[in-house]
A and B are shown apart, each in its own frame.
Chain A
């Protein structure tokens, strides 16, 4: 894991002091509310429906036990005893008071955390693959790049007042677990014909009211050119992105309106012109960061373990959990395990202080003191020995953390929706809870197989509904909640934006409509191996539309 050096510590401490002074200047009237708003947003502080919300950065989703315990302490001291892990690998506290925020930021700084650029029209927290450093198919740990970009983008003098927010994701594998195609810039670590490592660069992906799949800006960019090239890409956006309409201000609209060829021409011209050496990171800096992301020293283990095999036979709950929530590890005798924050009927991504401490304890004892927040709003314990897996599982049972549902129909992603958010047009959380309860039976979920449901409570699409296999968008139709359904969305494996089934459904009708879609899939699939997404791609919208609308 990355550790702050004296410079990082000083930077965060000074930034915390600056924000405290900004709060005081706002209270004294030196800053108007209009002036203060972007400043507080740049420090993760939103004004929501009922209260302030503080979004804390968890860079590329990686954190250690002392950090998780601090989040638990903050939840208890300054909030209502829980926090909400987000679709961008961060955590939100929904009930802090403005006067407590400087103290919270100081607590965070004491464990090398902050809330810098978790909101606002700037470069946001860089996200990455939750299986970084674990996956066997990885070319390079993407967190080295993500950390380099975190530093480069922090309080960047030129790019802190952009036209709109700017999100970057990095993956180090061929299999994309970071949804890079739906980011403003997506980076895939690749090797060229000469065997050199660099990046394939995507640009202009995004969700919101105008979803786009990212387009290829560069097939190969040498590693040491990443900062100069991104500087050029951001500069063209900062100068030419639209400022007349907030809803057309993301880079995806600029790329769409210019065309990828013209945008690329402008970026390449600027990249050729600027003094790359003045912006480039020194090789020593890469090496310095990289050493923090070396695989931890894991004791050598046998390929199999008798205790593990016995537990699989004797504890059916464990067998279900291993079947769904456990991933291969590049080291013999180890696995990565997903702790589901999606208990049946629960709020997706929420964790109580007690749950956070349990996960932190398990990570400290059994996972080299490391955890990863996933963009699906779960927590991964990345380095668990096979022989310890059952102990980890037993530690999760009884406190709502043992759901064996990763990637299944109840592993639902949802934004906070109308229960918290000032922008929302409909509820999201209760919709997720009702669908989760409807499909709660473990065997039924297993029978249905991989199926992602993603729910957004407004067109800003924080719940990623465009890329859900089943996407749900909550709208307000003349004061009544109405839910549009889309099918066939997918963030990574042949990325696609979902297609609308037709007219929306009421809050009451929605669970039945989802069940109709699932039943239609089960009846039409060629066999248990054909997933929902595969079946949809083969069948198209026809049979689903018919089942949803013709019967009525």
Chain B
């Protein structure tokens, strides 16, 4: 199941393995095939594992339409920092969390800069989309700013309680 803050969405991207031919459409490459990025006409994404150094993607960030970050387990939180880093490095494309994360993490994922979540069917079966969307209203505000301060139109940034206090007192 693929979902973002609007609910379940269609996946226009094809995930490509080590030896697969490139499709005639948007493709998510394994990190090892990133060199093939140059000659491709369609949008290209990349899938990285959570031990990868996101800074290594810096030279190609503006040519990537999507970055998928692996979550081997919902309890392994490295992906949250990777997303923050990628946003801070200036990545403006889609950020996808891929793996068995849980609905209770949806707000955290969005606040760290992810746009969408790609779930294995086992998790999707137990936690249907309505449980994920319910998480969006979980907290009206936290004490930290979202990943894209000031960019609330992208839906990812949020005002922190500290910002709200300042607005209320001025």
Q: Which of A8, A157, A158, A235 has the most CB of B within 10 A?
A: A157
Q: B100-120: contact bitstring with A at CB < 8 Å (1 yes, 0 no)?
A: 001111011101100000000
- Flag whether A31 is at the interface (Cβ < 8 A): yes
Residues of chain B within 8 A (CB-CB) of A121 are 75, 77
Residues of chain B within 8 A (CB-CB) of A162 are 77
**Tally of A-B residue pairs with Cβ under 8 A?**
114
Contact A285 to B76, CB < 8 A, known contacts A7-B141, A151-B143, A155-B139: no
Contact A30 to B149, CB < 8 A, known contacts A35-B102, A160-B108, A284-B166: no
Interface size class, chain A: 35 or more
Contacts A/B (CB < 8 Å), 18 sampled: A7-B161, A8-B161, A10-B140, A11-B142, A18-B138, A21-B134, A30-B103, A31-B102, A31-B127, A155-B142, A156-B143, A157-B144, A158-B112, A161-B76, A161-B77, A162-B77, A275-B149, A285-B162
Which of B120-170 touch A at CB < 8 Å? Answer: 126-127, 131, 134, 138-147, 149, 161-162, 164-166, 169
Residues of chain B within 8 A (CB-CB) of A285 are 162, 165-166
- Flag whether B13 is at the interface (Cβ < 8 A): no
The 9 A-B pairs of least Cβ separation, nearest first, read: A161-B77, A157-B111, A157-B108, A151-B143, A7-B161, A238-B81, A158-B80, A278-B149, A14-B139
Residues of chain A within 8 A (CB-CB) of B145 are 278-279
Residues of chain B within 8 A (CB-CB) of A235 are 81, 84-85
Report how far A407 CA is from B78 CA in the complex, Å.
Answer: 42
Contact A14 to B144, CB < 8 A, known contacts A25-B131, A29-B126: no
Q: Given contact pairs A35-B102, A235-B81, enumerate 13 new A-B contacts (beta carbons under 8 Å).
A: A7-B164, A11-B142, A15-B139, A21-B134, A25-B131, A154-B142, A158-B77, A161-B74, A161-B76, A161-B80, A239-B82, A274-B88, A284-B169
Report how far A159 CA is from B126 CA in the complex, Å.
Answer: 26
Are A281 and B75 interface neighbours, CB within 8 A?
no
What is the CB-to-nearest-CB distance from A423 to chain B, in angstroms, rounded to a whole number? 19
Q: B78-97: contact bitstring with A at CB < 8 Å (1 yes, 0 no)?
A: 10111011001000000000
CB-nearest residue of chain B to A285: B162
Contact A156 to B126, CB < 8 A, known contacts A30-B131, A285-B165: no
Report how far A275 CA is from B127 CA in the complex, Å.
Answer: 36
Are B126 and A157 interface neighbours, CB within 8 A?
no
CB-nearest residue of chain B to A274: B88
Are B127 and A152 interface neighbours, CB within 8 A?
no
Are B161 and A238 interface neighbours, CB within 8 A?
no
Q: A7 contacts which of B105, B147, B149, B165 (Cβ < 8 Å)? A: B165
- Flag whether A303 is at the interface (Cβ < 8 A): no
CB-nearest residue of chain B to A281: B162
Residues of chain A within 8 A (CB-CB) of B144 are 152, 156-158, 279
Interface size class, chain B: 35 or more
Residues of chain A within 8 A (CB-CB) of B102 are 31, 35
Which of A18-59 touch B at CB < 8 Å? Answer: 18, 21-22, 25, 29-32, 35, 38-39
Are B166 and A14 interface neighbours, CB within 8 A?
no
Are A11 and B161 interface neighbours, CB within 8 A?
yes
Report how far A87 CA is from B136 CA in the complex, Å.
Answer: 36
Are A161 and B142 interface neighbours, CB within 8 A?
no
- Flag whether A288 is at the interface (Cβ < 8 A): yes
Residues of chain B within 8 A (CB-CB) of A18 are 138-139
Contact A158 to B84, CB < 8 A, known contacts A7-B165, A11-B142, A14-B138: yes
Report how far A151 CA is from B38 CA in the complex, Å.
Answer: 46
- Flag whether A243 is at the interface (Cβ < 8 A): yes
- Flag whether A5 is at the interface (Cβ < 8 A): yes
- Flag whether A323 is at the interface (Cβ < 8 A): no
Are A151 and B161 interface neighbours, CB within 8 A?
yes
Residues of chain B within 8 A (CB-CB) of A288 are 165
What is the CB-to-nearest-CB distance from B72 to chain A, in angstroms, rounded to a whole number? 9
- Flag whether A540 is at the interface (Cβ < 8 A): no
What is the CB-to-nearest-CB distance from B29 to chain A, in angstroms, rounded to a whole number? 23
What is the CB-to-nearest-CB distance from A265 to chain B, in angstroms, rounded to a whole number? 14
Residues of chain A within 8 A (CB-CB) of B141 are 7, 10-11
- Flag whether A528 is at the interface (Cβ < 8 A): no
CB-nearest residue of chain A to B139: A14
- Flag whether A543 is at the interface (Cβ < 8 A): no
What is the CB-to-nearest-CB distance from A251 to chain B, in angstroms, rounded to a whole number? 14
Residues of chain B within 8 A (CB-CB) of A157 are 80, 107-109, 111-112, 142, 144, 146-147
What is the CB-to-nearest-CB distance from B110 to chain A, in angstroms, rounded to a whole number? 8
Report how far A163 CA is from B80 CA in the complex, Å.
Answer: 12
Residues of chain A within 8 A (CB-CB) of B134 are 21
What is the CB-to-nearest-CB distance from A273 to chain B, in angstroms, rounded to a whole number? 8
Residues of chain A within 8 A (CB-CB) of B107 are 157
Which of A336-376 touch B at CB < 8 Å? Answer: none
- Flag whether A282 is at the interface (Cβ < 8 A): yes
